[in-house]
Amino acid sequence: MAGILFYNVENLFNPEPDSVAIDDEYLPQTFRQWNHYRKKIKQANISRVILYAGKWEPPVLVGVCEVEDKKVLNELIWTTGLNRFSYSVIHFNSPDQRGIDVALIYRKDRFKVLRSFPVEVKLPPSFPPTRDILYVCGILDEIDTLHVLVNHWPSRWGGEASTRIKRLIAAKTLKNICDSILSVSEHSKIIAMGDFNDEPNDESLKIVSRKPGTAGKRLINLAWNPVGKVPGTLKHQNAWFCFDQILVSSALFAPRREGGFFLKDTMMHVIAADFLLEKDYDYSGVKPFRTFEGNKYKGGFSDHLPVMIKLMRIIE
Q: Which domains does the chain have, with CATH numbers?
A: 2-314 (3.60.10.10)
Chunked in runs of 10, what are the mean pLDDT values of the chain (316 residues)? 97 79 75 93 98 93 97 97 96 93 98 98 95 98 97 95 97 98 96 98 97 92 94 96 98 80 93 98 96 94 98 83
Closest CA to 119 of 183, 220, 206, 192: 192
Three-state helix/strand/coil letters over 238-286 = CEEECCEEEEECHHHCCCCCCCEEEECCCCCEECCCHHHEEECCCCCCE
Q: Percentages helix, strand, coil for the chain, rounded to the nearest 5? A: 20, 35, 45
Tell me what pLDDT residue 32 has.
87
Cβ contacts of 136 within 8 Å, gap of 6 or more: 90, 104, 106, 113, 115, 116, 147, 148, 149, 150
Parallel/antiparallel/unpaired status of strands 144-152 and 61-67: unpaired
Cβ contacts of 287 within 8 Å, gap of 6 or more: 235, 277, 278, 279, 280
Task: Provide Rg for the chain, Cα atoms.
Answer: 19
Give CA–CA dist 200/64, Å, rounded: 19
Tell me what pLDDT residue 174 has.
98
Cβ contacts of 313 within 8 Å, gap of 6 or more: 1, 2, 141, 143, 259, 260, 261
Q: Which parts of 81-202 fold into alpha helices (H)?
A: 160-184
Backbone angles phi, psi at 122, to 5 degrees: -85, 100
Do you know the residue count of the chain?
A: 316
Tell me what pLDDT residue 24 has.
73
Write the burial class of residue 233 (CB in 10 Å: 0-12 exposed, 13-18 middle, 19+ buried): buried
Closest CA to 8 of 177, 150, 175: 150
pTM of the model: 0.97
Parallel/antiparallel/unpaired status of strands 244-248 and 189-195: antiparallel
Contact 49, 301 (CB under 8 A): yes
Q: Hey, how many other C-beta atoms are within 10 angstroms of the C-beta on 265?
A: 11
Tell me what pLDDT residue 315 has.
73
